[in-house]
Structure 1
Amino acid sequence: MRRTELDEGRFEAIPDALRAPAMLLALDEAFLMAAEDGDTGPSFRTWEFTRPTVVLGRSSKVDRETDRDHCDRHGIEIYRRCSGGASIVGGPGCLMYSVVLSLEQFPRIAKIDQAHDFVMHRVLAAVQRQLPEVRLQGICDLTWRDRKFSGNALRITRRHVLYHGTILYAADLHCVERCLDFAPRQPDYRRGRDHGSFVTNAPLDPTRLADDLAEQFGPPVRQITDAIVARATELVSKRYSCEDWRFRH
């Protein structure tokens, strides 16, 4: 079977056609679906958007959580992911990680709070190898000096969990502040702070971090099969690239 090869670095060396934001998001769901159907096992990967991109949660209300006019004026595209949680801004300087876990192997993570606990303590351990003072606050946020640099979300299916998140290390924080409106749900530790006062970059080496995350979750994906690409391509055509799905709320 022909496969799309990945390099040995922290990010996927895949064709430009697979680097489109809709495809990158669809690949997360494609890996989940393939695991659920028994076509592949658990997986772990790290990647980045090549340009600033707003990603809505599955049930996010676009006009409540984003400044859509600003995004339109500046050519910043808005997409929707298959998991819950609030809207985020990805792009260069924002490491994305995605892990698919088996409920047969880890049955306790079928409960949402246990899934957060299981994954986030492993992400925390990886980050603390560089920044021991980082803390886990709220439900699933990582903070440095009491400011958030990592947000996370999940989707639970019958036999697997997709857990994915963001880690800001050199992101354009002004872009984050301008693209997102005030968060609809806020942890207590935020104390009403706006995005500019609440979000930060953590001084992390992303290559080292990706390696440390892989130690927690297993070897990263090095190859994407034709079957995974086909699933993702179908998801893009039916949902991820469709405005009636992206802006449905």
Structure 2
Amino acid sequence: MLELNFESASARRELARDEAMLQWADGVVERGHVDPGGELTDTALMRVWRFNKPTVVLGRSSKIDEEVDRAWCQDRGLDVLRRCTGGASVVGGPGCLMYSVVVDVPANGGLRNIDAAHDYVMQRVLAAVRRQLPAAERSGICDLTWQGRKFSGNSLRVARHHLLYHGTLLLAADLDLIAKCLAFAPRQPEYRRGRDHRDFICNVDLDESILITAFAEEFGVRGKSSDREDQIEHMANELLVTRYNRHDWHERR
């Protein structure tokens, strides 16, 4: 797995980069590319990043007026955007660390099974967090919790040869802002027990630099790749035109 380090950009570009990572990896397999040394191109990728301002992010199939207080967000100039993966709406921004990984999916079984995919990634994310917070737990399908409250939500998309898995970690986020942006969640895990957002979520006190190092180690990152960044950024440019700069993508439901 290789690590990507893009410069901070707009929320729309950050979302486009995640989908571009997945498209790039699948394209490499389709074309049968090899690195200059004759080795098969490494298509497993990871990046850790942040939204540079508070941003509401809908799941691919989220219904905007059911999951988000749209009027409240519009009055305060907050972007409400849509990602390419499933799951419910989240709020990113200062104090919220984001991660994205792309891993290969064998044609016959393995990570093509959704439960196996969740297990593969979440075991590594949880192990990274537990280096500083041993009491952290995995709850529901793909949430991380501490003392019964959620501090990480995650989602995925499976393509032909790879899957994209990404998520949030609340470290010093504005929890009141998150609660005001989101409407009452239409789909809730049993462990939530009907709690509203403010009573359900929490920040966890983790050192970011230690956490990022732990992520790299748990996922087996072996280096960085600027050439892949350039190729993925080019694909992100195209996705901005066809999807992420278009109102009909973000507001389609």
The match for 2:173 is 171
**1:105 Cα offset (Å):** 9.7
Deviations 1:95-130 (A, max 9, x none): 100000011399511111110111101100110000
The match for 1:209 is 211
Tell me, in whole angstroms, the C-alpha distance in 1 between the residues paired with 2:154 and 2:229.
Answer: 26
Among 16, 31, 34, the residue aligned to 2:24: 34
Tell me, in whole angstroms, the C-alpha distance in 1 between the residues paired with 2:67 and 2:224.
Answer: 32
**1:227 Cα offset (Å):** 2.1
1:92/1:170 contact within 8 Å kept: yes
The residue type equivalent to 1:239 in the other structure is: R
Q: Report the count of equivalent residues.
A: 237
Among 153, 158, 161, the residue aligned to 2:160: 158
Among 224, 231, 235, the residue aligned to 1:231: 235
Is 1:22 the equivalent of 2:15?
Answer: no
Tell me, in whole angstroms, the C-alpha distance in 2 between the residues paired with 1:132 and 1:110.
Answer: 30
State the SS of the aligned residue for 1:37: helix
The match for 1:181 is 183
**1:217 Cα offset (Å):** 1.2
Is 1:196 the equivalent of 2:198?
Answer: yes
TM-score w.r.t. structure 1 length?
Answer: 0.91
- State the superposition RMSD in angstroms: 1.8
**1:13 Cα offset (Å):** 5.6
1:44/1:221 contact within 8 Å kept: no
Residues 38-47 or 52-61, more deviating = 38-47
**1:230 Cα offset (Å):** 1.3
Which blocks of at least 5 consecutive residues in structure 2 are unaligned? 34-40
Among 104, 122, 129, the residue aligned to 2:131: 129
Among 58, 73, 83, the residue aligned to 1:56: 58
Tell me, in whole angstroms, the C-alpha distance in 2 between the residues paired with 1:44 and 1:225.
Answer: 11
Question: Structure 1 residues 221 and 68, CA, compared in 2 at 3 Å: closer, same or farther?
Answer: farther
State the SS of the aligned residue for 1:28: helix
Deviations 1:123-182 (A, max 9, x none): 001100000000100000000110000000000011101000000000110110000001
TM-score w.r.t. structure 2 length?
Answer: 0.89
Tell me, in whole angstroms, the C-alpha distance in 2 between the residues paired with 1:72 and 1:103.
Answer: 39
Q: What is the percentage of aligned positions where both structures have the same residue?
A: 53
Tell me, in whole angstroms, the C-alpha distance in 1 between the residues paired with 2:134 and 2:107.
Answer: 29
Question: Structure 1 residues 126 and 106, CA, compared in 2 at 3 Å: closer, same or farther?
Answer: farther
Which blocks of at least 5 consecutive residues in structure 1 are unaligned? 1-5, 7-11
Deviations 1:168-213 (A, max 9, x none): 0001101100000011110010000000100000111111111101
